[in-house]
Structures are given as structure tokens and as C-alpha cells.
Amino acid sequence: MLTGSAPSARPADRKDSENGENGPRRYAVYGTGHRAAMYVDAMLQDFSDVAEPVAWCDPNETRMSHYTAQARAAGHTPVHYHPDHLETMLRQERIDVLVVCSPDHTHAAAVSTALRAGVDVVCEKPLTVDEAGLRAIEAAAAGSQAQLTVTFNYRYSPRNSALKQVLADGSIGKVLSVHFEWLLDTVHGADYFRRWHRQKASSGGLAVHKATHHFDLVNWWLDDVPVTVQALGGLRFYGDQGAGRPAGPRPSLGRDAAADDPYGFDMSGDDHLRGLYLEAEAQDGYLRDRDVFDQDIDIEDTLSVLVGYRGGCSMTYSLTAHSPWEGYRVSVNGSRGRAELEVVERAHVASGTASDLLAWRTDTPDGTPTAPASRPAVDPSVAPGSAGTATGARTEGSRLVVQQHWDVAREIPIEESEGGHGGGDGLLLVDVFRGAGQDPLRRRAGYEDGLRSVAVGVAVNESLRTGGPVRTYGTRADQDQD
């Protein structure tokens, strides 16, 4: 059972590198897809004094070579390993820290293997996708002195930290209920239905892969434990029977879509995606640009969830993966008032060709497509300002408002900075590579935080399957005591 607060790793808790107390720690990256870029770039640039990339572990040689080319330019030559040889890599390369960025369903085995070997782990969310993974990681963590950190970068986003501070200060009193609405637009939202995330066995669906961020935020904001879940949802917009499916035949791959198809996806004009996926297809057959309206999709694009917490609070949660704008709204009702956070990350998706929507190309006067120097991220929260200028009634940005009973509403300043998630990614990386300093908000997430957030998503999937309420993993003993 998960009890108590999550442990937070401190520099003093972590074993010295093989290079000595003052030398950089030896890092390996497990899974060299797109998400690994944040960590590889960090080790090669801002954190090169404390982190040395010595090995990659991935089934695809082409993807590993893509990052090795970057590492060599910085004076490193990481050794390549297949995931079947993870234990050998940890031992032979004397790994201090394993960074797990592989597909979600592989996390539990990799994390558990590293912990049993005494190797610290930095794991991308979600920590795992099902209850079997939760049990495996909990057992491995209980028998290991190694540290496990889950990278919940949304905690570090200044707007989310500001709401945490409002609640911690008691500005609205005892929290009684939360409403949380998350909207993914038809650029970012659609992308989950192209790649491996479209299969629940691989990702746990958006209830696990995406919403684990959101469930962790609420767990952290409330400093409480989710215990009961009831869910409704389905695949309603995407898929071969989806309401959003354009009329007529569909291509099996986004690269073959018509030029004016807003759901097309052409990786050839992006060096990073082309190198990681298009040029790597021949090795493992993985197709990054499957059509979002084909029949091989079994995850939901619409979710409505009710969560009950041990302390008596309740949350209504909604996720829509096909919105015309991207962002989220959080309303927190307390005994003394109410806090409201609204974030607009992309105000609209303009009409145009598929390539134009993501700015993958520009056309010269004679109509020849050319690749631009940069392009907006599929996920606008990663690259603020990349979505273009907003028009109409909706403005991009964040706004936090607090109103106490019998008083006027007041806006709380949010001090965002440069970088992904309002500067939150940079703050997260400092904690990951240099260790957490004094932080009264406790933003660094330990393994129990990771388990509890996934436990809600797993319960959502079980509730969708059974149609009834579900107790979350680790809290069923509470029910026995009721």
C-alpha cells in the first residue's frame, strides 16, 4: 500500500559517480525517440559538468545514431545497446543514472531492472500503464537504495506553482472540490492517434499517458490521495467511425494525405523527425504517421471523470482531444472562496494545408517548398509563442484569479520566463541533474507520486471497462476499514 508522502531525492542521497565525488555522473538513456532530446541536449549543454552521456539503449540503431551524432560533436561517444541487454549495459558502462524515455508499456521493466541494480532512475511520465507495472515498481523501489524521480514538468510551470502557493497559503480555505478541464487541439490532440499511443496496451490511453500529468497536479495541489474513480468516455472524434472523419477514402499514412488535408503529417521536412522516424522505419517497421481516422485505434479521445480523495475533496475532470483551441481551466472551490486558473496555449488552428498548419515548409515565389529554419511544436506548451498570433476573442496566456467570499476578485501575478511550460522545463532539469534545493512547494516528484497519478488513470480504464466506480491501487485497504 502507498502510505505517507513521497520521498524526494537530495544530492546527499545520491551515490557518487564512478568518476569521483566531483566528476560528472554517468548517464544512459533508455529509449531514443523524440522525448529523449530534452535530456540529451541538457547533458551536452547546460549540465555537461555534472552529466556524461555514456550509453543509449533502444531497439533501433538509426535512432541511437541520430543522437550519437549530436554527442560526438560535443566530444562524447555513447555506446549502443539493445533493450535485451539492459542489465549488461548498466554493469559494463558503470551507469549511475538511467533516463527512461521509451514507450510507456516498457517503463516498468526498465525502471525495476535499474532499481534492483542500484542505479538511480529518472523516468518520463507515466511511470507505467497498468496495475502489474505498479506492483513491479513498488516492489523494486522497496528493496532498493537507488532514487527514482518522475519528471512531472507541469509542477514546475509557474502558473501551476502559483496555484499551489495560493492553496498552501490558505487563501480559499479548506478545498472542497475541483473542476479540471483539459483541451487538446486538432494539431496536438490528433498526434496521439498517429503514433504508438493509439494502442491502449502501449500507452494506457490518454487517461494514463496524458492525464497522469493532470492527476499528479491535483494530487500535489491538494496534498491528498485519490481513492475512488468513476469514468465515462470513448473514441468519438477520431477513428474509422469518428464524427470528425472527413468524407471519402483516407490514406493509411499521413505523408500520403492530400495537400489540403489538415490531418496529414509530413515528416520529410523536419530534420529531427525525419532522422528519428522516417529514416528509421526500415529497421523496425514503426510508422510515426498513421492516419488518425483508421480502424486500428482503441484509445479514447473524450473523457469525463469523477475522482474522490481521502480527505473528502472531489474532482470533476474532462479531457477533449479534438478542441479548436488548446489549454486548460481549473476551478478550485474552498471554504473561504474560489481560485480559477485559465491557460490558453494555442488560441486557434488556422485553416490551410497540412504542411502549413505546422509550418513545416514555406513556398518560394515559384512554388517550390523549402524547409523553414524553425517550426511550431506540435505541443504548444513546449515552445511558447510558436503557435503564431492569436486573433478573435481568445488570447494566448495564463490568468489566475482568486475571490474570497464577500470580496472582489483579484488577479494573482504569474512570473513566467523563457522556455517550455513557462520556464518550468528548465527548473525541472536543474532538479534532475543538480538535485533539488530547498523547495517549500515540493515540486520534485518521487516514485509514490508517480504511482498515485498512474493509479487514477488505471482506475479510469477499469471504470470505462466495467461501467462502475473503482478503488485506486494502494487504497483498497481503506475500503476494508470503512
Tens digit of pLDDT at every position of the chain (482 positions): 343 333 333 333 444 454 445 689 999 999 999 999 999 999 999 999 999 999 999 999 999 999 999 999 999 999 999 999 999 999 999 999 999 999 999 999 999 999 999 999 999 999 999 999 999 999 999 999 999 999 999 999 999 999 999 999 999 999 999 999 999 999 999 999 999 999 999 999 999 999 999 999 999 999 999 999 999 999 999 999 999 999 999 999 999 999 889 999 989 988 999 999 999 999 999 999 999 999 999 999 999 999 999 999 999 999 999 999 999 999 999 999 999 999 999 998 876 544 454 544 444 444 444 444 333 346 666 555 544 455 689 999 999 999 999 999 999 999 877 666 667 888 999 999 998 888 999 999 988 999 999 999 999 999 999 999 999 998 865 555 55
Q: What is the pLDDT of residue 361?
A: 43
Q: Which of 20, 15, 24, 19 is nearest to 44 (CA)?
A: 24
Give CA–CA dist 380/359, Å, rounded: 13
Collect all residues with Cβ–Cβ distance below 8 Å to 439 and sequence separation of at least 6: none
What strands lie across the sheet with 51-57, from one edge to the other? 79-81, 51-57, 25-30, 97-100, 120-124, 148-151
Whole-prediction pTM value? 0.90
Q: What is the pLDDT of residue 5?
A: 34
> Are the CB atoms for 118 and 147 separated by under 8 Å?
no
Collect all residues with Cβ–Cβ distance below 8 Å to 366 and sequence separation of at least 6: none
- Give the containing element (helix H, strand E) for 121: strand 120-124
> Are the CB atoms for 75 and 51 separated by under 8 Å?
no
Give CA–CA dist 82/42, Å, rounded: 23
DSSP, collapsed to helix, strand or coil, labels residue 172 as coil
Give CA–CA dist 263/186, Å, rounded: 8
For 151-183, give one letter per residue: b (16+ CB within 10 A) or e. Answer: bbbbbbbbbbbbbbebbeeebbeebeebebbbb
Q: What is the pLDDT of residue 215?
A: 98
Written as nine digits, the cell of 333 is 472551490
